[in-house]
Each structure stands twice: as C-alpha cells, then as structure tokens.
Amino acid sequence: MLYPARMIRAVVLDVGETLIRDDRGWATWADWLGVPRHTLSALVGAVVAQGRDNAEALRLVRPGIDIVGERAAMEARGVNEQLDESDLYPDVRPAFAALRQRGVRVVIAGNQTACTGQLLRDLGLPVDAVATSGEWGVAKPEPGFFALVLELAGTAPGETVYVGDHPANDTGPAKAAGLRAAHLRRGPWGHLWSGTPEAAAADWQIDSLHDLVRLVGT
C-alpha cells in the first residue's frame, strides 16, 4: 500500500527501463557485434544477476572491446542512437502531466549519453529539465551526480524523490545523498532486485509511474 509522501516537491527519474525500454539499444549492439540479439540479452541478464555492470556483456562477446571507441565507430558508419515515442513506457506522459498538475517538478537525470539527452528533449515530454551523465561528466552512483540532481531540481534532499530500477545505481546512492527513493519494479533489473534487502532500502516500492501520483498526494 502506498502512503502519500508529504512535502515532495520534485520527482527525478532514471532513464533506461524507467522511462524507456532498452530493447532498441541492445539490439543495435548485437547487430553491430554480429551476435544474435537473444544471445546478448541473455548475457546482459547474466552479468546483472552476478552484480556486474551490464557493459560486461559486451566484453564477453568481444573481449577487450573499447566501448567508447566502438560507439564512435558505429556513429561514423551511420549507426546512430535512436529514440522515439515507441521506446517510452505508456505511463510516462500521463504520469508526468499529472505530477506537474500537482505542482511537483519533474526532472529526468540518468546515466546516458549527451545524444540521448537531446533525443529525450526532442520528444517534448512534460518535464522541467533533462540531464544526462554524458552532459555532466559524472555518472551514478557517484555522489557528484546526485549533487547535480539536487541543483537541477532546485529542491532540498528530503523534498526530492529519485526513481529508478537498480538499487546499486539508484536507490542506494540516492539515499546516501539524503534524497528519498522509489524502487520501480520494471524491466529486468527492477524485477531481479524486487524483494531484496537492497531494494527494500527504498522509501517506496512502485509498479508504475502512476503510483508516483498517488504517492505525492494532492
């Protein structure tokens, strides 16, 4: 049961598997590396279950891969990042609109490239601000990332809730920075970590972004 969280003035959200499905991105990597998409998806799940960074899946396919350099090579060949309405989870727009109607600031901030940041802005989502680790030069779970989150939100830590699917990148470091946290049971990471002590450290467990509207009250 969700209990209203009084004095929440800003909701800040992760990107991958919180707002958008990661299917397209991993499919692009699988095609580029010449492996079946299911193979790479299975490897991603395996490394995450082991508590490793999901980029390790790429290194299992191609040992020693320079991921940044490989991304540059992809872009040079015209294989660019893509993001459109079909990548969004269906609750994103209505939940954002409802939160803003209640006077809550809505901010997007996640571990993504600068290109993804611009693609998100181009979608015209009802948000107050969008930022990515690629633009800031600091990524989760570093404390500096959450310091910038608060600066962008313009709110105090206790008035700000960070929403994400991964305890190690989202819930834990957000709480350490003094923010409130909501663990979203969505996508492979959200479901994998659901019910664990790490996820339980969040202030709230939610199944949909619509839950945030009920959470912040009126």
> What is the predicted pLDDT for the residue at 48?
83
In this predicted structure, what is the pLDDT of residue 53? 82
Residue 189: closest CA among 1, 4, 18, 12: 18
- pTM, two decimals, is 0.91
Task: Give the contacts of 51 (CB within 8 A, at least 6 positions apart).
Answer: 168
- Determine the distance from the C-alpha atom of residue 85 to the mean position of all C-alpha atoms in its chain, rounded to a whole number: 16
Query: How far does Cα 82 stand from its chain's mean position?
Result: 16
pLDDT of residue 7: 86
> Running along the chain, 218 residues long, what does each successive block of 10 average in pLDDT?
71 96 93 96 89 89 94 91 94 98 97 93 98 95 97 96 94 96 93 89 96 84
Task: Show the DSSP H helices in 102-170 as ranges.
Answer: 114-122, 133-136, 143-153
Report the pLDDT value the prediction gives residue 4, as an integer from 0 to 100.
Answer: 56
- Domains belonging to the chain, first-starting first, are 10-20+84-216 (3.40.50.1000), 23-76 (no CATH)
Q: What pLDDT is attached to residue 5?
A: 59
Residues facing residue 204 across a β-bridge: 182
**pLDDT attached to residue 218:** 52
| CA dist., res. 90 & res. 67, Å (int) | 31
DSSP state of 91: T
- Which letter, b or e, does each residue of 168-187 get, where b requires 16 or more Cβ atoms within 10 Å of its Cβ? bbbbbbbbebebbbbbbbbb
Measured between alpha carbons, how far is residue 148 from residues 69, 157, 166 in Å? 27, 11, 19
List beta partners, residue 109.
Answer: 131
pLDDT at residue 192 in the model: 87
Among all chains, which residue has been given the structure tokens 């962008």? Answer: 152
Q: Give the pLDDT score at 202.
A: 95
Give CA–CA dist 153/161, Å, rounded. 10
φ, ψ dihedrals at 30, nearest 5°: -60, -45
Q: Are 217 and 9 in contact (CB under 8 A)?
A: no
Query: What is the model's pLDDT at position 175?
Result: 97
